[in-house]
A and B are shown apart, each in its own frame.
Chain A
Amino acid sequence: MSASATRTVSVLKGLGFTDAVSIPDGESRYLYQALVDDSDIEVYLPTREGEGIAIAAGLWVGGRRPVVVLQNTGLMEAGDALRGCGIGPSIPLLLLVGWRGYPGAMSGALPVDSAFTYTEPLLQAWALPHRMLMNNDDLGVIDEMTAMAGATSRPAVVVYGHPFSP
């Protein structure tokens, strides 16, 4: 059983998040819709992930509390923005990152999606703290990574490996 989108949104609201900048992937479609349906969180849909991270940085500098939702492939695209608008200037963004390729890799299907292969090494290379969100029992990692981002003044990542359920 994967994590519930509505419960995830409730957790984000409870932590004080005010905005979501998201390019949805297949795994986060229900999460995106739950965010859109929630009147307490403003949702912005950029055209590319690097753009989204820069928007989120501007929101945070202006006093809002954004979360960024993107796929691992988008995180790879957004490298310069993450460096320049997150890690470099000490902006504590929370990123929810979809782990494309995880279910296939876990089932032993071949070929393994290279997006799966390079996600963890990439996060480690950037020294980004990260935890896995696989089901509702893991929802506490959102709180943990939010606190980590705040304590370290760096982005922190929650990786989801399965499609959100409604």
Chain B
Amino acid sequence: MERLDLFRGLAARRSDEIVVTTMTATLQWPLVSTHPLDFDFLAFGMGHASDFGLGLALARPERKVIVLKGDGGLLMSLGSLVTIGRHGPPNLLVLLLENRGYEMTGGQPFSSKVDFVLLARGAGIEKVERIEQLSSFELELPRLLSEPGPHFVVLPVTNSEPLPPVAHTDHTSRVRNLRRALGVDGA
């Protein structure tokens, strides 16, 4: 499915969930969403978007945390699946954008043999699924947003759209803005 179509579908159904994006998702998600609870994790730490999202979800149990990350990023922190399997709270939803390569750096492919569903299940995450079609994703999304997780969803994506340039906004401001949106004291 086209990644931007997937993002449009998610943005249309998202309400007060936190959305953490990283790598190419940080370039395209802003085309469909300017929500104060959007958090651009780009350059916060390679491979660690879902770790940060896990911390957020643990801190804010009343609110769903959605992480949009790529499969290349997951390979940089595979152990995080084990941590989610052990500590992942019901309000964590990881959407793995599977394109089988490092798109941000030119699309270099990695091993085609990797099965992310098996990896996640083997790490102890119980609610793991693979959704191939956009129509299925849009059908399942209300359940994924309301049903207790943690959920780990593998979404094979393509992209035929030109990517906007990387905008290196101030990291401290990103943090301050999210804390303010969450009503955290001292933000």
Contacts and interface: CB of A to CB of B under 8 A. Distances in A.
B46 A55 contact: no
Contacts of B174: 89
B52 A58 contact: yes
B45, B79, B172, B185 interface centre (most CB from chain A within 10 Å): B45
Nearest to B63: A62
Interface in B83-116: 83, 86-87
Interface string A42-61: 10111110111111111111
A89 B172 contact: yes
B52 A90 contact: no
B54 interface: yes
A85 B47 CA distance: 12
Interface stretch (B6-14, B23-31, B143-151, B175-183): B175-183
Contact of B172 (A53, A62, A63, A90): A90
B54 A58 contact: yes
A22 B59 CA distance: 17
Interface residues of A, number: 33
B44 A44 contact: no
A6 to B, nearest CB: 24
Interface in B14-58: 43-48, 51-58
A66 B58 CA distance: 11
Interface residues of B, number: 32
Interface of B: 43-48, 51-60, 77, 79-80, 82-83, 86-87, 171-172, 174-175, 178-179, 182, 184-185
Interface of A: 19, 42, 44-48, 50-64, 66, 80-81, 83-85, 88-91, 153
Given A62-B184, A84-B45, 19 more contacts: A51-B48, A51-B77, A54-B52, A55-B51, A55-B55, A57-B44, A57-B55, A58-B53, A61-B52, A61-B178, A61-B179, A61-B182, A63-B179, A64-B58, A80-B46, A81-B45, A85-B52, A88-B43, A88-B172
30 contacts: A44-B83, A45-B86, A47-B79, A47-B82, A51-B79, A54-B45, A54-B51, A55-B55, A56-B55, A58-B52, A58-B57, A59-B55, A59-B58, A61-B178, A61-B179, A62-B56, A62-B59, A62-B184, A63-B59, A63-B60, A63-B185, A80-B45, A81-B48, A84-B46, A84-B48, A88-B43, A89-B44, A89-B175, A90-B172, A90-B175
